[in-house]
Amino acid sequence: MADTLYVGKPARRVDALEKVLGTAKYVGDYRLPGMVYARALRSTLPHARIARLDVTPALRIPGVLAAITCDDFIDHGRFGFPVPDMYMLAYQRVRYVGDAIAAIAAETEEALQAGLEAIELELEPLPGVFDPVAALQSDAPIVGESPWDAPELPRGNLLTRYVVRKGEPDALLADCAVTLDEEYSTVHQEHAYIETEGALAAPWPSGGGTSPSGGAGVTVYASCQSPFVNRNNLCSVLGLPQEDVRVIQPQVGGAFGGKDDQMYQTSGQVAKLALLTGRPVRMIFDREESMIASYKRDAMQMRIQLGADRDGTLRASKIHAVVDSGAYAAITPFTAWRSSIHAMGPYRYDACHVDTDVAYTNNGYSGAFRGFGNTEVCAGIEQAIDQIAWEIGMDPIALRLRNCLRPGDTTPHGQSLGDDVALAECLEQVRRLSDWDRKRAAFSAAQSEPSVPGAMRRGIGVAAVFHGMSLGAEGADFAVGTLAINDDYTLTLTSGLTDYGTGSRTVFTLIAAETLGLRPERIKMLRPDTDTAIDSGPTVASRSTVLGGNATRVTAMRLDSLLTHAAADLFGCQAAQVARHGERYVGPNEEPASFEQVVDHARQMGLTLSTHGRWNMPEIHWSFEQGQGKPYFAYHFGAQVAEVAVDTGTGKVEVTGIWAAHNTGKVIFPQGALGQLYGGITQGLGYALIERVDYDSGYMQATNFDEYLIPTAMDVPEIVGSFVEKPFAPGPFGAKNIGEPGMVPTAPAILNAIFHATGRHIRHLPANLERVLLGHDLRKEGSNMACKLGLRAERPQTTLQEAV
């Protein structure tokens, strides 16, 4: 590729200055004249019928301005995609502890509290179900509303089911020299964005809407990921046309997948309250409300069977997974589908079956979280692969190199891979960077020495990842960018995708600058606003760089060709004779013209100097019945090595090093890409060792950062991040995605290192002290919350083999 001016070069994040100065405004920092405050009344029971609900007593409290229930919305405020099973406020039943039942707006905090207490509510408890495998048994209490929730599905708590099918693994497994049959489980994980959820709705002046009868309109500022999805939900539950609802994206203080469904519900509540009161209404969650009410990473149980030859060639895989979706579907069907596609890992097999069942329970509810199904299954399959290597006596990297997907291979889904695949290169790179061969041998040798209680043991482990790009067969996939040249020769760039800390605004700015040859400082990238940007689908699935980046490139190329046309007219030559060096145009007789001169001339010619560009993901297809197809257009590949020191006296694991190599294609914004990698690895480290949203009979056990621990600066080692920049032709300047896949292999790499250090497989996350030290969990007889509520602490988990 020709040398670039801005892409791949050192650059500064476009919004870093306001963030370091403390002037960046998040929704909790927004204040409007006359603004009032809102809060929701939330369920204290995991499953109950709403026997009586009367909000009118709240309205008699001085300072309370409005109180709403589901009856204040069209169709009770029903929303959700792909399964519309949620409501803006609970309808008839509550399904989890924290389910919103009513919401009020009040002038003061005191009135808000008094108003919530005045609401008359009677909940009639219903039996709950807290074990996803048990939820699928015929005698389980029904959480969903089948057939209404998912008419095409069989019944009750089985939300959906996905399969992958290649050949017949059972016969092969019976023949294989080496086999494995193990169960693994992962736990719910809290997003723990440092900014909690919040939304502010401002009503338009009476008659400001488009309705001839003097209808209302509303502007919503929400800490959400996908403003267009939010707008569309608001229109449907409020009964307003698109012109009368505007969603503007403030700065978002982290999301990681967690600010979708929950924020659409909150936005609906404040929008309705604003329309009723005629006042701006703001709702900000405190940390406890955030942790109790918001959705989590799903928890998953997996049974993995593998078969291999003595030489380490993988032959067959058979995987059955059950996903705990909690009380609502949210985006879990998509998560589960992605997990089924990635469950066997990035390897070749002669036969492979995956069956994924998704169950409703009363354990909070699950939704998107970085890695989105792949993080969960990778924790299982990459440990299983390591165990096969150990049983054969083969080096774990060597076994992966023998089996890993390479250019031209066909995946177990029947997809032929292109020449962008670079997993082998990633494995070789982390092997070299981490000094794997020497350390593996040295740590193994130390293992055979006699053990002293309390001695430190060291280990080193590896894991590989593939991660399907963007939405895949989950949905229609496109993005749109717009560019306009302003009177002062700056440019305004928009995208319908949100930068909630990921750096996408900087990536898009660099792509536009590179395409146009303009200094990035000229380009002002706006945050999304549904009135000025164009719908680009949801900001999920690591899709910004490729989808939004390509849309930016298309709109910039259009603007570039307009300017070239104008320059040709100025020089009196053909467009092909115009050369451009950065911001300077040069004609056939070496006559120069500045960017400003060309813009002025273009305006005199009557050209409109604004463009928009749309990029559609190339076609993909998936047969949900046959479990074969082309599930994603392409994949990101990567490998990570973790080194640990384990205290054999306490079970404490210190991660002493992590090395990562990721097949990102061309890196657009190197500093940002490294930041994504470091941040993802740190979340993966937390997932491996300390993070666990524990539901006790539906009650979340940790509701703030004193009990739910996330890694601090002292828990994270110095990380060595690197990229394999094998170009990906369809990506902008050859780029692939990075946001999610950096997190995916971290936990299994750490778990494999613990195994190397201790000989102990930790098949159930997280690898806490007691699991590392004793090999099993300690069960607290009375957790804090259980004691407070007088609950019995009892939670038998059904194994998948028992359930069959």
Partner 1 sequence: MKIELTLNGAPVSVDAPADTSLLELLRDHLDMTGVKEGCGIGECGACSVLLDGRLVNSCLTLAAQAGGRKVITIEGIRGAEGGPNDLQQAFIDYGAVQCGYCIPGMVLAGEALLARNLEPTRAEIREAIAGNLCRCTGYQQIVDAIQATAIKRQENSNG
Q: Return the number of the residue (192 or 238) whose C-beta is nearest partner 1.
A: 192
CA angle (503, 507, 510) in 5-degree steps? 140
Asked if residues 284 and 196 have their Cβ atoms less than 8 Å apart, the reply is yes
Please tell me the distance from the alpha carbon of residue 780 to that of residue 699, in angstroms, as a whole number.
15
Q: Which two tokens stand for residue 382?
A: 């990459």
| Main-chain dihedrals φ then ψ at residue 548, nearest 5 degrees | -65, -35
Name residue 584's beta-bridge partners.
Answer: 581, 594
Q: Return the number of the residue (367 or 501) whose C-beta is nearest partner 1.
A: 501
Q: Return the number of the residue (396 or 503) whose C-beta is nearest partner 1.
A: 503
CB of 263 to partner 1, least distance (A): 15
Closest CA to 632 of 365, 482, 413, 314: 413
Q: Return the number of the residue (15 or 583) whose C-beta is nearest partner 1.
A: 15
Alpha-carbon radius of gyration of the chain: 27
Please tell me the distance from the alpha carbon of residue 156 to that of residue 136, in angstroms, as a whole number.
8
CB of 222 to partner 1, least distance (A): 15
Q: Return the number of the residue (196 or 752) whose C-beta is nearest partner 1.
A: 196
Asked if residues 163 and 354 have their Cβ atoms less than 8 Å apart, the reply is yes
Tell me if residue 217 falls in helix, strand or coil: coil
Burial of 576 from C-beta contacts in 10 A (0-12 / 13-18 / 19+): exposed
CB of 197 to partner 1, least distance (A): 12
CB of 28 to partner 1, least distance (A): 7
Q: Which two tokens stand for residue 64?
A: 């309370």
**Which residue's structure tokens are 């006042």?**
279
CB of 683 to partner 1, least distance (A): 7
Q: Is the dihedral of CA 452, 454, 458, 463 positive or negative?
A: positive
CB of 749 to partner 1, least distance (A): 15
Q: Return the number of the residue (22 or 606) whose C-beta is nearest partner 1.
A: 22
| Main-chain dihedrals φ then ψ at residue 567, nearest 5 degrees | -65, -40
CB of 467 to partner 1, least distance (A): 18
Q: Return the number of the residue (51 or 713) whose C-beta is nearest partner 1.
A: 713
CB of 440 to partner 1, least distance (A): 25
Please tell me the distance from the alpha carbon of residue 641 to that of residue 662, in angstroms, as a whole number.
12
Name residue 495's beta-bridge partners.
Answer: 481
β-pair type (523-525, 491-495)? parallel
Give Cα 509 distance to the centre of its chain: 23
CB of 326 to partner 1, least distance (A): 22
Query: Residue 544 CB: number of other CB atoms within 10 A?
Result: 27
Q: Return the number of the residue (574 or 712) whose C-beta is nearest partner 1.
A: 712
H-helix or E-strand spanning residue 789: helix 784-789
Q: Return the number of the residue (39 or 763) whose C-beta is nearest partner 1.
A: 39
Q: Return the number of the residue (357 or 499) whose C-beta is nearest partner 1.
A: 499
CB of 678 to partner 1, least distance (A): 3
Q: Return the number of the residue (163 or 720) whose C-beta is nearest partner 1.
A: 720
CB of 256 to partner 1, least distance (A): 7
Q: Return the number of the residue (84 or 670) whose C-beta is nearest partner 1.
A: 670
How distant, in Å, are the alpha carbons of 60, 118, 268, 274, 396 from that of 56? 7, 9, 20, 18, 65
Please tell me the distance from the alpha carbon of residue 373 to that of residue 352, in angstroms, as a whole number.
18
CB of 194 to partner 1, least distance (A): 5
Q: Return the number of the residue (275 or 681) whose C-beta is nearest partner 1.
A: 681
Q: Return the number of the residue (489 or 678) whose C-beta is nearest partner 1.
A: 678
CB of 502 to partner 1, least distance (A): 7
Please tell me the distance from the alpha carbon of residue 562 to that of residue 632, in angstroms, as a whole number.
34
The strand ranges marked E within 469-558 are: 478-485, 491-495, 523-525
Asked if residues 378 and 637 have their Cβ atoms less than 8 Å apart, the reply is no
Residues 6+ positions from 21 with CB-CB distance below 8 Å: none
**DSSP state letter for 546:** I
- Concatenating the DSSP letter of every residue in 721-777 gives EEE-----TTSGGGB---TTTTTTTHHHHHHHHHHHHHS----BS---HHHHHHSS-
Q: Return the number of the residue (386 or 643) whose C-beta is nearest partner 1.
A: 643
CB of 254 to partner 1, least distance (A): 4
Please tell me the distance from the alpha carbon of residue 88 to that of residue 70, in angstroms, as a whole number.
6
Residues 6+ positions from 198 with CB-CB distance below 8 Å: 26, 27, 28, 222, 223, 266, 282, 283, 284, 285
CB of 57 to partner 1, least distance (A): 27
Residues 6+ positions from 327 with CB-CB distance below 8 Å: 95, 96, 99, 143, 360, 361, 362, 363, 364, 365
CB of 186 to partner 1, least distance (A): 19
CB of 540 to partner 1, least distance (A): 16
Q: Return the number of the residue (21 or 804) whose C-beta is nearest partner 1.
A: 21
Q: Which two tokens stand for residue 564?
A: 């070239």
Q: Return the number of the residue (459 or 739) whose C-beta is nearest partner 1.
A: 739
**Which residue's structure tokens are 């299982």?**
380
β-pair type (653-663, 719-723)? parallel
| Positions that interact with partner 1 (CB under 8 A) | 12-13, 15-26, 28-29, 191-196, 251-256, 286-287, 500-503, 671-672, 674-675, 677-683, 704-706, 710, 712-714, 716, 718-719
Q: Return the number of the residue (152 or 706) whose C-beta is nearest partner 1.
A: 706
CB of 369 to partner 1, least distance (A): 12
